Amino acid sequence: MARLLVLGGTELANSFVAAVREAHPDLEIILSLAGRTRDPKLPDCEVRTGGFGGAEGLAEYLKTEGISALVDATHPYAARISANAAEAAKAALVPCLHLIRPEWNREPGDNWHMAADNEAAADILDELSSNAPLTVFLSIGRQDLASYFLLWNCAFVVRSVEPPPEEDLPPDAKLVLARGPFGEADELAFLSENAVDILVSKNSGGSATYGKIAAARRLRIPVVMVERSALPSGEVVGTVVDAVDWVAAQLR
């Protein structure tokens, strides 16, 4: 029987697993998670958890587990695992697809400051807070908080699914633990209740976390948008439908 390995940890991966299961009931699907989130939402399939040990470890896994095809449906900012997937698939001669949500585009009324990475985002905040203190909603997860440590004129509201280590939180940051999806109405209330002056966000794409972008537009709050790094090498699609079609083509 053909075996599909899906690299997940995203809503998109879960939707893809559900769709591919329906389209190919005989296909054996293994969903792989990094193991960062306790009690993750899971689709109905076999799940393995934890790193593979780099591209070499993943290539070894593909061979020993007899994987027929690999779909990388990790988050657009999980660059290392996507690069490892491309390299491992090439080494193991397994076809590989990257399923990546298309980026959000600027809409009329959006006031976005583009930042190449978190360091650049922190520089923008530093400049914008030079005349008056800012309350910043830092909505970038919990892994890249260190870049924002030395911004003395910024007060931070940090929201993440799991708590970051205390030493990673910027001084006096308010921590809010919550799991999306977050709708626009909820985000309007959140931004107002926390008197947020500016939002820092990744360009994650998709609808689950778009509410804060739409709410910032409504409230005329500027957004510092941390851009994606380059796409991984290899075949890339942006929708579950296209990814299911790709699987069908591999099974022919």
Taking a C-beta distance cutoff of 8 angstroms, is the pair 174, 157 a contact? yes
Task: Tell me the three state secondary structure of residue 108.
Answer: coil
Taking a C-beta distance cutoff of 8 angstroms, is the pair 94, 67 a contact? yes
> What is the rounded distance in angstroms from the CA atom of residue 126 to the CA atom of residue 94?
46
One-letter identity of residue 57: G
> What is the rounded distance in angstroms from the CA atom of residue 213 to the CA atom of residue 234?
30
> What is the rounded distance in angstroms from the CA atom of residue 79 to the CA atom of residue 161?
20
Minimum CB separation of residue 77 from ligand NAP in Å reads: 4
- From 35, 39, 40, select the one nearest 17 (Cα to Cα): 40
Taking a C-beta distance cutoff of 8 angstroms, is the pair 94, 68 a contact? yes
Between 8 and 170, whose beta carbon lies closer to ligand NAP? 8
Task: Give the residue carrying structure tokens 């807070």.
Answer: 129
Between 40 and 188, whose beta carbon lies closer to ligand NAP? 40
β-partners of residue 71 are 6, 97
Minimum CB separation of residue 229 from ligand NAP in Å reads: 10
Between 129 and 160, whose beta carbon lies closer to ligand NAP? 160
Minimum CB separation of residue 149 from ligand NAP in Å reads: 19
Minimum CB separation of residue 192 from ligand NAP in Å reads: 26
Between 80 and 218, whose beta carbon lies closer to ligand NAP? 80
Between 32 and 129, whose beta carbon lies closer to ligand NAP? 32
| Cβ neighbours, 10 Å, residue 91 | 15
Between 7 and 224, whose beta carbon lies closer to ligand NAP? 7
Minimum CB separation of residue 92 from ligand NAP in Å reads: 14
Q: Which residues make up the interface to ligand NAP (CB under 6 A)? A: 7-10, 32-34, 36, 51-54, 57-58, 74-75, 77-81, 84, 141, 202
Minimum CB separation of residue 170 from ligand NAP in Å reads: 18
